[in-house]
Chain A
Amino acid sequence: MILFRETQERRALAPARAPVQPGVFDLYAPRWLAARRRMHEGRSVARGVLLGLVGLVFWTIVFALIYRMISYFRSTPGVGDLLAVKLLGLLLLAFLPILLLSNVITALSSFFLARDLELLAAAPVDGTRLYLARLLETTIHSSWMIALVLVPILSAYAAVFDAGPLFLVTAPVALAGYLLIPAVVGTAVTQLLVNVFPARRARELLALIALLAGAVVIVGLRLIRPEQLARPEGFRDLVDFIATLRTPQSVWLPSEWAAQALVAPLDLAGADWFPLLLLGSTAAAFTVFGAWAHERLFRVGLSRAQEGSSSGTRRTWPIERLLSPLGHAPRSLILKDVRTFFRDTTQWSQLILLAVLVVIYVYNIKMLPLFSGEDVGFFLTNVIVFLNIGLAGFVIAAIAARFVFPAVSLEGRTLWLLRSSPLRLSSLVWSKYWMGLLPLLVLAVAITTGTNAILRVSGFVAVLSLLTIVAVTFAVAALALGFGAVFPKFNTDNAADIPTGFGGLLFMMVSTAYLAAVVVLEAWPVYAVLLSRLRNQALGIEQWSAIVIGVGLALLLSVAATVIPLRVARRRIEAIEF
């Protein structure tokens, strides 16, 4: 029979032929096909249009900003072109550490933790091909966002300097070199790290390092107050300034070479082609070096990646006693969530970002020039306090996106247990809601009271801002839970990934719209009350009706924004089929 004979013949022939190796793109194909399929599965016209619009708006803003800046630079004879190149170099330099860090983290997944590695490791695949396929994957996954941001930036340069077709050829080459070098270095760092720590520990360690590094960068940037750099008295003289501009920021970094290579076809003063050559040859040499390192480090690293990570715990949590008045099921759920939160590095480490956000927010309020020099006045201070409600609400929404939005997604894979248990789904929704709401509420009240104290405001506006932030927190937490249930992401091990999709974006947009509506509705009563205070008049019928209608409508809106999302969340959890 043909089937068996052929097999026997093949077996006989096998030793004579070396196994045919798959191409690098064949090895990458499953990822690409899966991504394409995911895009097709999730294709909805409304979602596509919305994402496209948001992207377009973002691109337009970045393009307009850069275009305006470079046009302005060009109008300054002598230093204009130098400034433009300097700006590009600075931007690429700022992206470089982000790229490096992102590559280190992505390489950990693609080289050591991906589920298909067992299959690939068992297959007779040449190490270099596997390296190149995974390097391609790592580069794409870590760099796509920065590549997308660079499109409007480079388009603005092309538009201002009337770039010819040569720019269209050299720009992608320079960009590829610029993105590839941190990918190779990041991958090599990961290979080394995994050879020292088991991969699962290394991932947690890296997530923490990344967050801390991000936090330091954000706080650092804010505390050096870049707006002060624009002060003209900072420059000693023009010659000094031009000399500084002519000096490359970092002659050994690919960001500098990329900036020089990108502007080479733009016919600017002092442009040359050597940086492009340097960038291309370094990227190629690094790739060869990376493949060599991979041959030596990968197998041992992969083996170590299979090893276990952390051990167990016997700790009894004091919260157990505190929760005893609750029913069995809600108590079990909350305890489980608290334990998981503090044991999962991808979850608790986000507290660092939260702290950074709050520090920057409070610092910015403190730095407002309200009490330095001239007296800004009672009216303006109160208006700022009032607008502060919107800002504080936005901070709360950003935090809710990180901590409340993922609640349903994180439960997704284990819903089999909750759904087969006699637990009321409303208990599940309520426990998730209170778990998210209470810390948010404490934070919201603390920052509002704190910033009110910094702004030295009391009376009607202070009370109103406190009441409003409480109502806003109730609503924002419910919106986060509701949107998280409607747009869940079940296939992720990383809690930080969950709010980064379409649902997270929509939640932030809806929350912002809701906050704007609350601010607008309360503006009338605040204006009426402040005006009567300024005139030293008692509150009349007009002011009282403004308070009742404006504040009442804002309250109604907040109640609706609380109740409806919670109902939707419950219905969605009921309807999830898995």
Chain B
Amino acid sequence: MIELHGVTKRYGRFTAVHPIDLTVARGELFGFLGPNGAGKTTTIRMATGVLRPTAGQVRIAGKDMVRDPIGAKRHIGYIPDRPALYEKLTGEEFLRFVGGLWGRSGATVRKRADDLLEMFQLADWKHTIIENYSNGMRQKLLICSALVHSPDVIIVDEPMIGLDPRAARLMKDVLRAFADNGGTVFLSTHTLEVAQALCHRIAILNQGSIRAMGTIDELRHEAEAGTAGLEEIFLKLTGGHQVQELMAALHDPSSD
């Protein structure tokens, strides 16, 4: 459903993303992890067509993002990391606007928007303009907007930011149910427990390149991490262990 072939992004002489190859199948929940500045958001923005790759090809549902951007984007619901919203629209108007962008309007989209707002406990706020929303409410509205046009693929960057425990649980359930019903999820997150609990496969990105990719067992094998959890594997593959060792040394009085 999502295919990245040699996708690269360069800014002048700096390469933010080295050639990346990956495929995410229909019904799969795919995790995309990496330390800060690894190139996750850049990759996601290329996958959604927001950013044009310097080289390589992005295909969504078999449609090339450069040759047929309209066809490719039709399948996507995108939840970016802390985006700007239309502050002067109400929550309901925003969802109907997004529906319109994806070519949907009328009673169907209104009903779906109402259902989503109800599900995410925003029904009481649907006639309030967005500038009065809290961060968590904005994040919930954003999730609703990614679902309002019934996409086949959800690409999501840090979905749990600002969510209360109940909404976070709901988000996890929604993503899982979406994948169980044949949808495809591409999930970038720093919350390793979420990735471990939800994702069928995970890719770990470091300094713009995929360091490892596979199921948890495959990653353990790759990192030679025995029965370790995702946090251990992540630290081992991204060099985080050096920091841990340094911190341990700092605590140790004998190291003076």
Mark A residues whose CB is within 8 Å of B.
1-4, 200, 308-314, 327-329, 331-333, 335-336, 339-340, 343-344, 413-424, 577
Contacts and interface: CB of A to CB of B under 8 A. Distances in A.
Contact of B249 (A1, A310, A328, A423): A1
A1 B250 contact: yes
B177 to A, nearest CB: 23
B90 A1 contact: no
Contact of B251 (A4, A309, A312, A422): A4
Contacts of A335: 97, 100
Contacts of B86: 336, 340, 414
B136 interface: no
Contacts of B128: 311-312
Interface stretch (B77-85, B193-201, B229-237): B77-85
Contacts of A308: 131-132
7 contacts: A1-B253, A310-B132, A332-B96, A332-B100, A343-B88, A416-B45, A422-B103
A313 B49 contact: no
Ranked nearest first, the 10 interchain pairs of A and B with the lowest CB-CB distance are A332-B100, A413-B84, A312-B128, A421-B101, A312-B127, A343-B88, A422-B73, A420-B48, A420-B78, A422-B74
Contacts of B89: 336, 339-340
Which bracket fits the contact residues of B?
35 or more
A312 to B, nearest CB: 4
Contacts of B105: 328, 331-332
B150 to A, nearest CB: 13
Interface of B: 45, 48-52, 69-74, 76, 78, 80, 83-86, 88-90, 93, 96-105, 125, 127-129, 131-132, 145, 249-253, 255-256
B49 A420 contact: yes
A78 to B, nearest CB: 61
Nearest to B106: A328
A448 to B, nearest CB: 33
B80 A313 contact: no
Contact of B80 (A1, A311, A332, A416): A416
**Which of A311, A413, A417, A420 has the most chain B CB atoms closer than 10 A to its own CB?**
A420
A313 B250 contact: no
Contacts of A309: 131-132
B132 A331 contact: no
A1 B256 contact: yes
A417 B132 contact: no
Contacts of B71: 422
A566 to B, nearest CB: 20
Given A416-B80, A421-B73, A329 B132 contact: no
Contact of A340 (B49, B88, B132, B255): B88
Contacts of B131: 200, 308-309
Contact of B102 (A343, A415, A419, A421): A421
Contacts of B80: 416, 420
Interface centre among A312, A328, A344 (most CB of B within 10 A): A312
A420 B100 contact: no
B103 A328 contact: yes
A557 B228 CA distance: 71
A1 B255 contact: yes
Given A308-B131, A329-B103, A416-B45, 14 more contacts: A1-B251, A3-B250, A308-B132, A311-B128, A312-B127, A312-B128, A313-B90, A314-B127, A328-B105, A332-B100, A339-B89, A417-B145, A422-B71, A424-B70
A131 to B, nearest CB: 28
A427 B49 CA distance: 17
Contacts of A313: 90, 127, 129
Nearest to B155: A420
Contacts of B104: 328
A416 B86 CA distance: 12
A64 to B, nearest CB: 46
A326 to B, nearest CB: 10
Given A1-B252, A3-B250, A423 B88 contact: no
B85 A332 contact: no
B136 to A, nearest CB: 15
A418 B101 contact: yes
B67 to A, nearest CB: 14
Contacts of A418: 101
Contacts of B69: 422
Contacts of A333: 97, 100-101
A312 B92 CA distance: 11
A331 B100 contact: yes
B132 A416 contact: no
Given A312-B90, A328-B104, A336-B97, A419 B250 contact: no
A311 B97 contact: no
A356 to B, nearest CB: 25
Nearest to B134: A308
A308 B130 CA distance: 11
A87 B74 CA distance: 66
Contact of B93 (A200, A339, A344, A423): A339
A329 B100 contact: yes
A414 to B, nearest CB: 5
